[in-house]
Every structure is written in C-alpha cells, then in structure tokens.
C-alpha cells in the first residue's frame, strides 16, 4: 500500500516537474548562461560593461528603478494604511460602499491605467486644462510625466496592496488585545503605538516588499511616461530591440537578483514575525462616528476619493466614444458616438486583436487550470522529498519581473530544443500562450492551495473507505469542493492574460498581436478613441470576472492578486 | 480594593436587550460569581464594569465614586480575558510590565514588581519567554499576573478557565482562589460552570436571559433555589409541577398537576405569591427508594425502575411513577440484590427536603413561558 502510494505520487509529480523544468527553470538558466557569453565565448564582460564606467546608463537605470520603487512604497503606504484604518475602525454612512470602491484600481489593466493618467493629467490632459480654463490661467498649472507620472500611477495602483493587507490584519487582530491595554490603563496613543502598530508591522512590511518588487518590475508606466528617464525593466526591452541579447540577458539577471532577494527576505521575515492570534475575536468593533461634523467630513472625503479613483475609468469610457480624427488640436473632445465600438465588430482588422487576445488567454488559462490543480494537489496533499524546492519553482515566475520572463523565453526558444519538440517557438503563435501560462502559474496554484488546505484529509479517506478509486474520488469529491477557489484563480488569470503587456511586447508577431499591442499601435497613430475602446473591453472583462467570482463562488478574487 | 454597586443597569444592543434592570452590591474583598448559560448577559455586565460598554440606563459605583461613564483606562480594574489577550509581540516580562510602564513607574520598581508578581504565579523562570511559547495554563497565569501587578481595585475574570483542559482547570481554580485570598482583592468571576461557581464563590448571582434570578451563597443557591430555573441550572434536580391545596401550620399541601390523585407535603417553600404557578424541586440524592412499601411516611409513590446507571460512588435510578420519571441517587453499598430495570419500588420525597419554587420555565422544555 505504502509503495503503491509512493509510486502514484511519483506519477503525479513527473508531469509537474517536467513542465516546470522545461518552461521555468531551463529558460532562466539560458538567460543566466547568455549573460556570461560574448562573441569569443565565456566571459564576465557583460557584467563589466554593466557596472563599467563607459556606460553610465545601466547603473543609472538600476538606481532609478530602486529609488522609484522606494518612493512608490512610501506613497502607496501613505494612502493605503490610513484608508485601511478609517474603513475598518470607524462606522459612518456609506462606509461599506467606499471600502469596496477602494479596490477600483485593480479593475484597470496596467497599460490602460497609464493611458488614462496620460489623458487626465498629462501635457494636454483634461484636468490641468480644465483648471486652466476655469481660473483663466495662461499656462496649465501642472502636468505629470517622467518620474512624477510614474510615481502617481504607481501610488494609484499599488496602494491597494497596503490597503488590502493592512485591512485584513486589522480585522484579524483580536479586539481584546486593545481592550486589555486600555484596561491596564493605557491611553489611545499608547495603545496605538505599543499594541496596534507593532501587530500591524508584519503586514506593512509585507506590503512594502510586494510594492517594491512590483514597481521594480513595472513596465507599462515607464514605457508610456518615462520620456528620457531610464529604468531597468525598460532597458531590457531597449537592449532586446537593439539586438543586444547578451546585454538584455545581463540586465535581466541583475533585475531578477534584486527581485528574488526581496522575495527571499520577505519569506524569511514573515516566518519570523508571524503573530498567530490565539483565538479570533468577535471581529473588530467599528466605533460609530457620532460627531455630525466629522461624519460629514468622512462622507465628503469618501465621495471625493471615489471620484478620483473612478476618474481614470470614466476617462477611458469617454475617450472610447470619441471618433478618430475629431479630437486633434481642440482642448476638449466635442464629438461622441459609438463608432469605435462599431468598428470593433465590423472591421476585421480592428476585431482581430480582440479575438487573438481571447484565444491566447483561453489557451494559456486552460493550461493553468490543468497544471494548477495537479500541482496544487501534489503540493498540499502528497508527501515527498523536495517539496520546498518544488514550491519555490512554482513561485519563481511570480518573483521574476514580466520583462525577464519574456527575455527568458526569447533566449530559450529562439532555437530548437527538446522541450519544444525540435521547433523554434519565437516568432510563432505559440510563444504568447506559453508566456501567459508561465506568468500565471503562481496565481492559479496559490488560489487552489488556499481551498485545498481547508479540505479535510478525512474526506478523501472516507471516499477511499467507501471503495472509491483515486481518480473517481478526485473527480467526485476533491474537484467539486475546490472548484470555487480554482475557478476564481483561473478567471483572474484569464483576464490578466487578456491585459498582459510586457511579455506581449517582447514576443508578439503580426499574426497573434493581442489587444495591448494594438492599444500601443493606436496610441502611436493618435487614435485615442480606438485605444480606449480596447481598454473598455479589458475593464469590462475584469469587472465581470470579479463580479462572477464574488457572486457565484463567494470568493474575493482580488485577494489572490 | 473597593466595593461595586450596580443600580438598575440595562444594556440594549440594536435589537437585543442583553442585560435588564440589574442591581447588585458586591462587598469589599468578596469573591463574587456571575453564573448562567451562555448568552445570558454575563460578559456584557462585566464589560460595563470594566468600562468597555456604557449602560443604556442605570449607574455603576466603585465604593461611593460614580464610574458609569468613566473611560476603561481610568478605572483601575484588572481584567483577565477569556482568551487571555496576551500581547503576542511582547515577552512574558513585557506583558506583565505593560500596565506599570503606562503608569510611568521607575524601571527598577517595574522590574521588582513584575518579578514579584511572576513569582506569585510561579512563572519566575519564564520571564524572557515569548508568550506563544507557553502552555495554556502558563498563559493563563501570565494574564493573571498582568492584571494583578497593577494592584487593581477590582479583579474581573471572564470565563478564565474555559480554554483549559479538565486537569489544568482544577489546578488553576485553586491557584486563582489562593491569589485572590493573598491579595484580598474584590473579584468578579464569570462562568457558566456550576462546579466552579459553587466551589470558589463567596456569593453567586444566577443570570438567565439578561435577568438576575437569585443572589446568594453557594449553599443558599443550591439548597434554596428561588425558582425552577435556578434549581435545574445548578445541580441535578427533579421538578414536579404542583398546585397548592391548603396549608397546615408550617406544612403546605399540594397535588400533582399531572395526576390530581397524587398528594405532596412540603415544609420548605421559596417565596411565592398566590397567582404563581408552582413546582417542587427535589435533588436526586434526597430521594429515598424502598423495596417494600414504607409505613407511616408521607409523599410515597409506587413506581418501576426504568434505567439503572452505575457511576462508581453511586447508582442513578430512573424511576417511572406512572408517566413521570424521577431520578434518584443511591449510594453504592454493594447491596444484593442490586436494583435492576423492571423492579417494583417505592419512592419517598421527604417533605423537609422538597423545595417549592415558582415555575418560570415550561415543564420539560426548559424554556421560559413569558
Ligand atoms: N457588541 C454586541 N452587539 C450586539 N449584541 C451583543 C453584543 N455583545 C453581546 N451581545 C448580545 O447580548 C447577549 C448577551 O451576550 P453576552 O453578555 O456575551 O453573554 P454571556 O457572556 O453570558 O455568554 C447575547 O444575546 C449577545 O448576542
Ligand atoms: Mg461571555
């Protein structure tokens, strides 16, 4: 029995390990090897170039990435942490509406979000121009671009990490801890600094590292907003476009080292400072705000906040109604109709990218579903040596910046290999689904893990005891029970794949160009309307998926982002 | 140290009235227990005394100082929470020192007092430990030390033993009592466990559905319950609905509601008024069982043994008296033959041990009528 069990685990493990080695490990190694090659063969020359004095730009880009990321952490925390406090500690009219609105930035794919910010606050942006006209100024009062643009976009999208982690920690803090402190004579300030804040520290540090990693990897914002400003993720793209693959590999390795060390640090820190609450309390008491002035203030702040949060979405919606060629030199668009949407469904050239994206995302997600469930089952329910290693391999694509994942694939599969059955994948249709698949392995595995871990082992044992064979019980007992978690993760992977930009831009071909690439093309041709219409498709898809997950699977899908 | 007075306190949450018109006087140095089933308002009352809730109506006094709306950190009560609420990011020492540091004591003084307190709860060897590295019983003692070290006027304990296993619970029961006697501190102890309440308390207040049913010493509560809820919640009892037929000197004459032909004499009635429905309560250990009909005795009924449970020290007999099942506990005397199901027996409910109580619950169901 024991032996058969072992053999079976091995049988399940083989495909999982094979896929991870072929498409995660091998491409990463290829990049590493490539970074140590130049025309003559093995050499450390690329690294010498990177850190050398001739090309300041690389070091400058590394430094820029780091300091932008640090500032992004700071600003995101500045918005996210206070919001989490206000929404979880106080009760006032509209609180629950505002707190759901706080995660609105998630519904915006990165490229579309950046685009919206350009049109809102850029050089010819609607907000600065409206202020100029309203107050009769001669110049626009402000505009974003370069560093400030990147930072504002980062703060807008990434404060959600702080908001969500801190919120959930606040909710999990046993209220009797604070009460005990009051009971021992501590005032509000002491309770906050000595009890509440230390308990929140792990969450704040966790979110900080996450935001740091995300903004190190950030591609869309610098791509559209940086101007002459260089960051490392963008440098990789430029090196690749210029055909300097070895330098692109070197830059990828350095960016990965920074990201992975942060990931390892985060794991270490979280294991060290995990205050498991003895018991879950009754849940946080929200104190009701009674003072009418304060109450009004809160509501006003909430309303203004929601408007600011919603502006990008509204901008995309409005822009999508502006036909091509009707908004050129004017300050504001003046013609609105559904032409862009009409084109979507009538002009094959316009519709093709949407169809491509849906097909690509579908294929990738199908892979994620099958692979994710299998891997998660093996990780959670089976015992074997090297589980930790497997876990790390699964999480690797999450730690790697998207640009690096793209570069890895370029370098590994622009030649034939056993893992592609002798084919060259780069330049074919199949490279993009593969890229999306790799990018979203961790997402689906993690969301499945979460549900599988709650599944009591005794259910499986009971099914066995009643005579069910493994495949039968997996199909009839395990799958139905974990389906909600699996579907939530899979749907999320699907919409993320539809919006994916960094890997697409490195790997697309004319035949399979997805929506995000077409948005970029339309922007280049100044067809904002058509670009926005594409954006609306992505926004609606994400909204739909979050709604479905919440409604039908009862799962807050945004949690697993 | 201080006495505590509650003056007709009511606490309403949105839809529920958790505490209704409660008045209490707790003496200096007394060990006072709130006892009642879960959800009856014990915690709510305790939290009003600690200041975490303010009463909807009524007032609270410590000694002669009104405390009704004073903030919790200004009350100087020491509360031990059901889940201990130890600060997970602090060591044992830091937890116990917290209240003293808040009071801005010199650090040498803090150290001295914390060490004293930890010695009192026999944890002096664990000062440097992280609280998560302690067992349940040890965590409990840290919580006790933490609330005692600030020399509170009143010690408040909310089901402090309910998270411990049976053995530890016995140990901690004596430990808490010892500390309370040592410090001589006014203590309010919340529990739903009658054994704890009976064995530890100077006085007990029995709660049900937000109302106080009876206040008294453990003996009073057990021997002279004020109504059928108190009688059945504390210890085992047999309740027989009866109606009054007349009185003769100190003896009252009743008949069974379920069977008018059965008469019953009782000498120890609780306070009741004419309109109230009545029951008699008699503890299983007071029921006498005979194999032959006894002569010249009152309150004797013929019945059949339905079930005999052996519990070691005693035998629990469930005896059917024509429809009504009465439980009797007889000591294990190794008598032969042992009583067995099906045996015909005679049951006596001694008139000096039956307690006549107002009926506030529905018979059998255990729910209130009103
Ligand atoms: N914060 C609260 N909000 C609403 N209802 C509450 C709250 N606290 C307690 N209650 C209600 O008050 C009643 C008494 O609760 P509690 O005092 O905790 O009972 P006990 O401690 O005796 O088990 C219960 O019905 C409970 O649901
Ligand atoms: Mg309680």
Please give the Cα distance from B268 to B315 (Å, whole number).
Answer: 27
CB spacing of B146 vs A183 below 8 angstroms: no
Other CB atoms within 10 A of residue B83 CB: 21
Kindly report the CA angle at A494 between A491 and A499, in degrees rounded to 5? 135
Chain B contact set for A176 (CB, 8 A): 81-83, 85
Lowest mean pLDDT among A359-363, A535-539, B183-187, B332-336: B332-336
Q: Nearest CA to CA, how far is A207 from chain B (Å)?
A: 19
Mean pLDDT over each residue of chain A, to the nearest integer: 84
Q: Give whole-number Cα distances, A73 to A154, A161, A270, A330, A461, in Å.
A: 9, 10, 18, 37, 47
Instruction: Answer whether residue A69 shows pLDDT above 60.
Output: yes
Tell me the two tokens of residue A382: 């089976």
Ligand 1: nearest atom to the Cα of B159: 21
Residue B368's pLDDT is: 45
Mean pLDDT, residues A489-496 taken together: 86
Residue A451's pLDDT is: 83
Mean pLDDT, residues B262-272 taken together: 84
Q: Which CATH architecture has domain B237-358?
A: Beta Barrel (2.40)
Question: Three-class SS of residue B336?
Answer: coil
Residue that is written with structure tokens 């009924």 in the block? B301
Q: Give whole-number Cα distances, A150 to A42, A127, A155, A325, in Å.
A: 38, 17, 9, 28
Reported as a single tens digit per residue, the pLDDT across A393-426 is 898 888 899 999 999 999 888 887 877 787 777 7
Q: Which CATH architecture has domain A2-275+305-321+330-560?
A: Orthogonal Bundle (1.10)
Q: What is the CA radius of gyration of chain A?
A: 25
Nearest to A275 among B73, B84, B88 (CB): B88
Q: Which of residues 195-254 of A touch B (CB under 8 A)?
A: 195, 198-199, 201
Start-to-end C-alpha separation, chain A: 40
State the span(s) of chain B assigned CATH 2.40.50.100.
Answer: 237-358
Please give the Cα distance from A376 to B280 (Å, whole number).
Answer: 64
Reported as a single tens digit per residue, the pLDDT across A113-129 is 898 998 888 877 888 88
Instruction: Answer whether residue A38 shows pLDDT above 80.
Output: no
Lowest mean pLDDT among A550-554, B93-97, B154-158: A550-554
Tell me the two tokens of residue A230: 């260089």
Instruction: Answer whether residue B82 shows pLDDT above 90.
Output: no
Reported as a single tens digit per residue, the pLDDT across A182-197 is 999 998 899 999 998 8
Please give the Cα distance from A206 to A80 (Å, whole number).
Answer: 13
Mean pLDDT, residues B45-61 taken together: 93
Mean pLDDT, residues A302-306 taken together: 86
Mean pLDDT over each residue of chain B, to the nearest integer: 90
Q: Which of residues 155-194 of B touch A (CB under 8 A)?
A: 163
Domain ranges for chain A, please list them. 2-275+305-321+330-560
Mean pLDDT, residues B186-212 taken together: 94
Beta strands in A43-145 (DSSP E): 90-91
Residue A278's pLDDT is: 45
Confidence bin at A162 (pLDDT 50/70/90): very high
State the span(s) of chain B assigned CATH 3.40.50.300.
Answer: 4-223
Q: What is the ipTM of this complex?
A: 0.76
Residue B303's pLDDT is: 94
Reported as a single tens digit per residue, the pLDDT across A507-524 is 998 888 899 998 888 888
B79 close contact with A: CB closer than 8 A = yes
Reduced 3-state DSSP string for A330-388: CCCCCCCCCHHHHHHHHCHHHHHHHHHHHHHHHHHHHHHHHHHHHHHHHHHHCCCCCHH
B300-310 vs B344-348, strand pairing mode: antiparallel
Instruction: Answer whether residue A554 shows pLDDT above 70.
Output: no
Q: Kindly state the percentage of chain A with pLDDT values over 90.
A: 22
DSSP label of B361: B
Ligand 1: nearest atom to the Cα of A285: 1
CB spacing of B79 vs A177 below 8 angstroms: no
Reported as a single tens digit per residue, the pLDDT across A237-276 is 998 888 888 889 999 999 999 988 887 887 787 776 655 5
Reported as a single tens digit per residue, the pLDDT across A445-459 is 988 888 888 877 777
CATH fold, domain B4-223, is Rossmann fold (3.40.50)
A475 close contact with B: CB closer than 8 A = no
Q: Give whole-number Cα distances, B139 to A165, B85, B86, B160, B168, in Å.
A: 29, 9, 8, 11, 12
Q: Nearest CA to CA, how far is B79 from chain A (Å)?
A: 7
Instruction: Answer whether residue A561 shows pLDDT above 70.
Output: no
Taking the model in full, what pTM does it have? 0.78
Residue that is written with structure tokens 């330098």 in the block? A247
Closest C-alpha among A87, A261, A281 to residue A178: A281
Kindly report the CA angle at B138 between B133 and B139, in degrees rounded to 5? 70
Residue B367's pLDDT is: 43
Mean pLDDT, residues A89-110 taken together: 82
A278 close contact with B: CB closer than 8 A = yes
A189 close contact with B: CB closer than 8 A = no
Residue A7's pLDDT is: 86
Residue B122's pLDDT is: 87
Confidence bin at A81 (pLDDT 50/70/90): very high
Please give the Cα distance from A128 to A120 (Å, whole number).
Answer: 8
Residue A560's pLDDT is: 53
Please give the Cα distance from A134 to B133 (Å, whole number).
Answer: 64
Count of residues making up chain B = 370
CB spacing of B85 vs A276 below 8 angstroms: no
Question: Three-class SS of residue A527?
Answer: coil
Residue B369's pLDDT is: 42
């Amino acid at each position: 029995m024991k032996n058969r069990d072992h053999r079976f685990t091995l049988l399940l493990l083989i495909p999982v390990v094979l896929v991870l080695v072929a498409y995660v490990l091998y491409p990463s190694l290829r990049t590493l090897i490539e970074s140590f090659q130049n025309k003559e063969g093995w050499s450390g020359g690329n690294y010498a170039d990177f850190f050398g004095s001739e090309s300041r730009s690389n070091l400058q880009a590394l430094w820029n990435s780091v300091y932008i990321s640090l500032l992004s952490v700071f600003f995101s925390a500045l918005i996210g942490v206070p919001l989490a406090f206000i929404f979880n500690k106080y009760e006032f009219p509209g609180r629950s509406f505002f707190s759901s609105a706080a995660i609105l930035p998630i519904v915006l794919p990165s490229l579309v979000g950046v685009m919206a910010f350009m049109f809102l606050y850029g050089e010819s942006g609607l907000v600065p121009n409206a202020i100029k006209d309203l107050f009769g100024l001669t110049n626009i009062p402000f505009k974003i671009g370069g560093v400030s643009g990147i930072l504002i976009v980062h703060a807008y999208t990434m404060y959600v990490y702080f908001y969500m982690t801190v919120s959930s920690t606040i909710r999990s803090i046993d209220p009797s801890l604070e009460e005990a402190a009051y009971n021992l004579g501590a005032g509000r300030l002491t309770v906050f600094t000595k009890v509440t804040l230390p308990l929140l520290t792990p969450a704040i540090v966790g979110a900080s590292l996450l935001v740091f990693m995300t903004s190190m990897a950030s591609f869309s914002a610098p791509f559209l907003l940086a101007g002459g400003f260089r960051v490392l993720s963008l440098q990789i793209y430029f090196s690749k476009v210029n055909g300097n693959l070895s330098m692109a590999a070197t830059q990828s390795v350095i960016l990965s080292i920074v990201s992975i060390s942060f990931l390892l640090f985060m794991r270490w820190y979280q294991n060290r400072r995990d205050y498991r609450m003895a018991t879950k309390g009754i849940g946080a008491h929200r104190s009701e705000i009674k003072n009418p002035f304060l109450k009004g203030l809160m509501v006003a702040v909430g309303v203004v906040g929601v408007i600011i949060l919603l502006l990008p979405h509204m901008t995309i919606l409005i822009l999508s109604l502006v036909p091509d060629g009707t908004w050129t030199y004017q300050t504001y668009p003046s013609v609105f109709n559904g032409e862009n949407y009409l084109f979507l469904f009538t002009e094959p050239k316009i519709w093709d990218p949407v169809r491509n994206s849906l097909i690509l995302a579908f294929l990738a997600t199908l892979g994620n579903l099958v692979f994710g469930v299998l891997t998660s089952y093996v990780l959670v329910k089976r015992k074997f040596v090297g589980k930790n290693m497997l876990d790390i391999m699964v999480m690797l694509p999450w730690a790697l910046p998207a640009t690096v994942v793209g570069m890895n694939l370029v370098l590994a599969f622009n030649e034939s290999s056993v893992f592609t059955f002798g084919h060259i994948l780069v330049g074919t249709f199949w490279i993009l689904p593969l890229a999306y698949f790799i990018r979203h392995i961790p997402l689906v595995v993690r969301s499945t893990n979460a549900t599988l871990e709650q599944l009591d082992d005794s259910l499986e044992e009971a099914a066995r005891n009643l005579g069910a064979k493994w495949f039968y019980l997996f199909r009839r007992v395990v799958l139905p029970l974990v389906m909600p978690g699996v579907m939530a993760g899979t749907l999320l992977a699907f919409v993320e794949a539809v919006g994916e930009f960094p890997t697409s831009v490195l790997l697309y071909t004319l035949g399979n160009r997805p929506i995000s690439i077409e948005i970029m093309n339309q922007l280049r041709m100044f067809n904002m309307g058509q670009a926005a219409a594409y954006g609306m498709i992505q926004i609606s898809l994400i909204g739909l998926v979050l709604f479905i997950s919440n409604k039908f699977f009862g799962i807050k899908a945004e949690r697993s982002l | 140290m201080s006495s505590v007075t509650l003056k007709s306190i009511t606490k309403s949450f949105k839809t529920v009235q958790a505490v209704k018109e409660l008045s209490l006087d707790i003496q200096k140095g007394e060990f006072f227990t709130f006892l009642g089933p879960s959800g009856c308002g014990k915690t709510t009352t305790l939290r009003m005394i600690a200041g975490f809730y303010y009463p909807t109506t009524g007032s609270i006094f410590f000694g002669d100082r009104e405390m009704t709306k004073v903030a919790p950190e200004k009350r100087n009560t020491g509360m031990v929470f059901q889940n201990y609420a130890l600060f997970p990011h602090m060591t044992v020492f830091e937890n116990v020192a917290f209240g003293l540091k808040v009071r801005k004591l010199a650090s040498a003084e803090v150290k001295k007092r914390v060490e004293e307190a930890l010695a009192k709860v026999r944890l002096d060897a664990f000062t440097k430990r992280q609280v998560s590295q302690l067992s349940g019983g040890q965590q409990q003692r840290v919580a006790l030390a933490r609330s005692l070290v600030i020399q509170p006027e009143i010690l408040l304990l909310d089901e402090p033993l309910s998270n411990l296993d049976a053995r530890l619970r016995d140990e901690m029961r004596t430990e808490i009592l010892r500390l309370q006697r040592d410090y001589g501190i006014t203590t309010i102890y919340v529990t739903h466990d009658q054994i704890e309440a009976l064995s530890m308390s100077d006085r007990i207040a029995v709660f049900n559905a937000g109302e106080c049913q009876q206040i008294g010493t453990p003996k009073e509560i057990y021997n002279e319950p004020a109504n059928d809820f108190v009688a059945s919640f504390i210890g085992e009892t047999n309740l027989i609905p009866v109606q009054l037929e007349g009185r003769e000197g100190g003896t009252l004459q009743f008949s069974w509601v379920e069977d008018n032909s059965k008469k019953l004499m009782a000498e120890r009635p609780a306070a009741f008024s004419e309109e109230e429905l009545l029951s008699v309560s008699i503890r299983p250990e007071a029921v006498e069982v005979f194999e032959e009909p006894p002569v010249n005795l009152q309150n004797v009924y013929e019945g059949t043994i339905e079930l005999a449970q052996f519990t070691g020290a005693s035998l629990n007999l469930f005896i059917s008296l024509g429809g009504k099942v009465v439980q009797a506990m007889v000591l294990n005397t190794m008598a032969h033959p042992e009583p067995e199901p099906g045996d015909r027996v005679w049951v006596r409910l001694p008139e000096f041990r039956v307690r006549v109580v107002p009926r506030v619950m529905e018979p059998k169901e255990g729910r209130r009528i009103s």
